[in-house]
């Protein structure tokens, strides 16, 4: 994770935004380490181009489109690999026999995916309309939005 944080100046911000969304949407099964790994996976597969809001929407879109049913593993993973039958499989980059998301049930996966679909649509509309109130629907009423200098 440290290498990815050093590679991408926005990594921590994207993790924080995703956690803020998770907290507002009350998605307790979506643990912080899982969020870090989702952001790391998108950094590895899609790079670090685009504005923060575009990259955050990409995270939501990934969750919504994949349904969190794709197995996620990293270049750091080495054999032996575990065999998992869990609804969500995200392999720990340090220990390939550990599925970090093993505690997410099928019902919780479906709730997370539905929340991501709703938030993705709202975020797209909020970006298109430049509507800060819509962003607050995603992150909560106390969310502060900085205007570009």
Domain boundaries in the chain? Answer: 2-139
- Three-class DSSP category at 114: helix
What's the rounded Cα separation, in Å, for the pair 116 and 114? 5
Per-residue confidence (pLDDT) for residue 15, from 0 to 100: 96
pTM score of the predicted model: 0.91
pLDDT tens track for 85-140: 999 999 999 999 999 999 999 999 999 999 999 999 999 999 888 888 889 899 98
pLDDT tens track for 83-98: 999 999 999 999 999 9
Residues 60/69/7/79 CA torsion (nearest 10 deg): 170
Q: Which one, of 125, 2, 123, 144, lies nearest residue 56 by Cα? A: 123
Q: Which one, of 146, 122, 125, lies nearest residue 21 by Cα? A: 122
CATH number of 2-139: 1.10.1410.40
Show the tokens assigned to 68. Answer: 């969190």
What's the rounded Cα separation, in Å, for the pair 37 and 40? 5
């Amino acid at each position: 994770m440290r290498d990815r944080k050093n590679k991408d100046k926005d990594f921590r911000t994207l993790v924080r935004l995703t956690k803020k969304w998770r907290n507002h949407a009350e998605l307790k099964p979506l643990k912080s380490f899982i969020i870090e790994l989702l952001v790391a996976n998108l950094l590895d597969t899609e790079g670090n181009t685009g504005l923060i809001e575009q990259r955050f929407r990409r995270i939501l879109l990934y969750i919504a489109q994949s349904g969190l049913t794709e197995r996620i593993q990293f270049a750091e993973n080495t054999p032996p690999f575990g065999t998992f039958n869990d609804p969500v499989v995200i392999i720990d980059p340090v220990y390939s026999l550990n599925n970090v998301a093993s505690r997410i049930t099928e019902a919780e996966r479906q709730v997370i995916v539905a929340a991501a679909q709703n938030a993705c649509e709202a975020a797209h509309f909020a970006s298109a309309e430049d509507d800060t109130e819509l962003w607050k629907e995603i992150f909560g009423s106390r969310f502060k939005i900085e205007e570009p200098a």
